[in-house]
A and B are shown apart, each in its own frame.
Chain A
């Protein structure tokens, strides 16, 4: 019977491949650290994180990343404020209210949005949304944080809708039937029973939506303008961390402080999304576990 060693090789390969994801996460982090930490030989951590001036090509260069971090946060906040209510409402509509025949079409349409490459959405945003914002608010330019928030909020919809949908579908039918049997209207059932039961799902959806938005590069780069200043209102151009990396890497000389500073921003991004993903995963798991526990009397 031919058994080992040919089996031994393939099973070793399987085990190695299995752990490859851990390997890559660590590798990514290491490479970011390798290039990014080098910055802090010449620039202090405080100057980087709290410095308000991002002038990487001036003499002497200044690497204050605060405007970039705040830019990302502003745009993300705006996007979440827009997308979570609408996304949750849409998921509720599709999952609980829409007639069966419409459901699949709606789901497909939302998934179609997810399939559109972000560069295309950025382009469309550039030619439609930006002039619109400029006109409505009488601004010198429509390249603003608001435009970015709207577009990114829109792009985050599929993520939020699909997580919410999954969360809603895991809520046991008995919850709904029990409420209806007590005389609640369908809406009351949804509002008071189903959505609270899926609350972990809402949190997970928000977290993953944040992760999606904060990591978006191209659309943001094309729509938010590219002024690395701390914004005071949403109607100004801003620069996000992601856009900074994408826009400036082409000009940065390998090994220069500018190059290192972009990797340092990458570290910040990586840590942000790491925490966000861990939190979202935690909430997703908690929801599954919660709903499987027997109900308290």
Chain B
């Protein structure tokens, strides 16, 4: 792994997020490097999911959402200077439970490109194949592209969701506890895909499974009750963390 100067992909400055009376993030500041996998760990209600949704602005859909601070993507303020659909094309999201649309495998993946104006069938076919290959689903899916996506197994569906996100050519991919509904083999497939994806994309992985973060991520951030407690290289966080609370969470004293 190159340990030289990494370019900052996302710069979070003093981000606070609240939904009505509930404050889910308190003055959070850190940077996400390009082409890294950043693991985000912490107990329930620590603000991890709010963080992700603040990045692709899905939080906007909630009428109670309020934010302060800045989030910069490649130096551009995503709340003030960027149009939301464009942002969401650049920052994709894979959700906790697999969420195929009630369409065929092909149409699921082609859904995104079609939104953005690509209609020629040959182009779509190329995109579908490329995306399925990148999420390691091509071999299993190539003979059943026109069959309903909902008939795939859970692990396959989740890889389909990854492929679907890749099809719009994002720069960052957010994973919100993507393996929570999957068995160990399916989980391994997803983690394998993530390891390859980071060569071309920046990945942020929120997970309840600290061991997964230890396996997969380059750096890890620990959140507790809306605050960023510590962020550092993964080996350091999991062996000699700087903060006692991090140590307690990782060793299972609470969670």
Tell me the chain A residues, 1-45 only, with Cβ under 8 Å from chain B.
Answer: 1-3
What residue in chain B is nearest A2 (Cβ atoms)?
B117
Measured CB to CB, the nearest residue on chain A to B117 is A2
* A174 to B104 alpha-carbon distance, docked (Å): 43
From B115, which residue of chain A is reached at the shortest CB distance? A1
**Which residues does chain A contribute within 8 Å of B83, judged by CB atoms?**
1, 3
Smallest CB–CB gap between A235 and chain B, Å? 60
What does the 1/0 interface line of B71-101 toward A look like (CB < 8 Å)?
0000000000001011000000000000000
| Whole-angstrom distance between the Cβ of B76 and the nearest chain A Cβ | 16
Shortest B169–chain A CB gap in Å is 14
Closest to B85 in A: A1
**What is the bound-complex CA distance between A28 and B85, given in angstroms?**
42
Chain A neighbourhood of B116, CB < 8 A: 1
Cβ–Cβ < 8 Å partners of A2 in chain B: 117
Residues of chain B within 8 A (CB-CB) of A3 are 83, 85
Please give, as numbers and ranges, the residues of chain A lying within 8 Å of B117 by CB-CB distance: 1-2
- Report how far A9 CA is from B151 CA in the complex, Å: 38
Taken together as a complex, chains A and B put the C-alpha atoms of A3 and B117 apart, in Å, by 11
- Which partner residue on chain A sits nearest B116 by CB separation? A1
Q: For residues 100 through 117 of chain B, which have their beta carbon under 8 Å from a beta carbon of chain A?
A: 116-117
A3 to chain B, nearest CB (A): 7
Min CB distance B101 to A, Å, is: 21
A2–B85 CA distance with the chains assembled, in angstroms: 11
A2→B115 CA distance, assembly (Å) = 10
Q: Which chain A residues border B86 with CB–CB below 8 Å?
A: 1
CB distance from A42 to the nearest CB of B (A): 54
Tell me the B residues contacting A by CB distance below 8 Å: 83, 85-86, 116-117
A-B contact pairs, 8 of them (CB 8 A): A1-B83, A1-B85, A1-B86, A1-B116, A1-B117, A2-B117, A3-B83, A3-B85
- A1-B85, A1-B86, A3-B83 given; 5 more Cβ-contact pairs under 8 Å: A1-B83, A1-B116, A1-B117, A2-B117, A3-B85
The 5 closest A-B pairs by CB, nearest first: A1-B86, A1-B85, A1-B116, A3-B85, A2-B117
